[in-house]
Amino acid sequence: MDNSVGQRSSPYRTVIGHAQSASRMRLGELYAFRDLFRFLVWREIKVRYAQSALGISWAIIQPLVSAIIMMIVFGYVAGMSTDGASKFLFYFCPLVPWTCFANALTDGTASLVSNASMLSKVYFPRVLLPLAATTARLLDFFVALVLLAALLVIEGVSLNVSLLVLPLLTVLMLVAAAGLGLWLTALAIQYRDVKYAITFVVQLLMYLSPVIYSASRIPDSLTVLGVTFNPRLIYGLNPMAGVADGFRAAVLGTFAIPWDLIAVGSVSAVVILFTGLLYFRGKERIFADVA
């Protein structure tokens, strides 16, 4: 990023930027700043739970309370089907990756604005800020996974080979959160409306993902105005559709892994991440000016 700060009384000027072209993805540079990345991740975790009475317990309170409320409202009051699975686990399983995704997306979106003071002082790859905010949420994710494992033992759910797909779904969740985070944080530092819209966007995405319901309710074929198409392929463009339903299928084993949603979601997540990087790099030069 090239950011020049003119000084009226001095013949010199301060230039905060890298020594190479901004048109290329500098993966080597990101590796060179790996120590800074680790520090930023650690700082995110430390600041998040500073002066918190419950500390890391919030990592399990959030999905636990949400699952209980969903179980009561949608499971018992609305009487929605849980495909033969335990009502509580039906809602808690997808909430584990969804809570991580939602928090990572929110933190990633706010990462540039909340670190605005750093942007005009020294050069470092700005992309480290949203990536560190996203990665830091993995700690909460793994804590929630431990709780999920304990609940499976209590409920007497047997383990199955489908659990091997969980690492793939975790990577897909991270790629989706990082890609959307890059887009939104680059927009948020220039347009502060994004800060107010992110809560609504996350809520909307949850309803578009199979957290409350199963993706098995999405038909394989639909005809509208004489045109027949596969709505599952369109639905799968949301990467979290395959992640949430895949998580539920892998853990509970009550239905098959939705490979169609995972395949479409993987392509979609990679496209979102790649275009997010391009957009972020394109806007990087104005961050210090508008922060």
CB 281 within 8 A of CB 185: no
Residue 7, pLDDT > 80, answer no
Mean pLDDT of the chain: 87
| Structure confidence by residue, pLDDT tens digits, 59-113 | 899 999 999 999 999 999 998 888 888 899 999 999 999 999 999 999 999 999 9
Spell out where the chain has E strands.
3-5, 14-16, 222-224, 227-229
Q: Residue 224: beta bridge partners?
A: 227
| Structure confidence by residue, pLDDT tens digits, 139-193 | 999 999 999 999 999 988 888 888 999 999 999 999 999 999 999 999 998 888 8
Q: Count of CB atoms within 10 A of residue 142's CB?
A: 12
If you average pLDDT over residues 43-58, what whole number do you get?
84
Cα 3 to chain centroid, rounded: 30
CB 145 within 8 A of CB 40: no
pLDDT of residue 1: 45
pLDDT of residue 22: 45
> Could you give phi then psi for residue 72, rounded to 5 degrees?
-70, -50
If you average pLDDT over residues 49-55, what whole number do you get?
79
Split at pLDDT 50, 70, 90, the class of 16 is low
pLDDT of residue 8: 52
CB within 8 Å of 31: residues ≥ 6 apart = none
What is d(CA 217, CA 206) in angstroms, rounded to the nearest whole number? 16
pLDDT of residue 217: 87
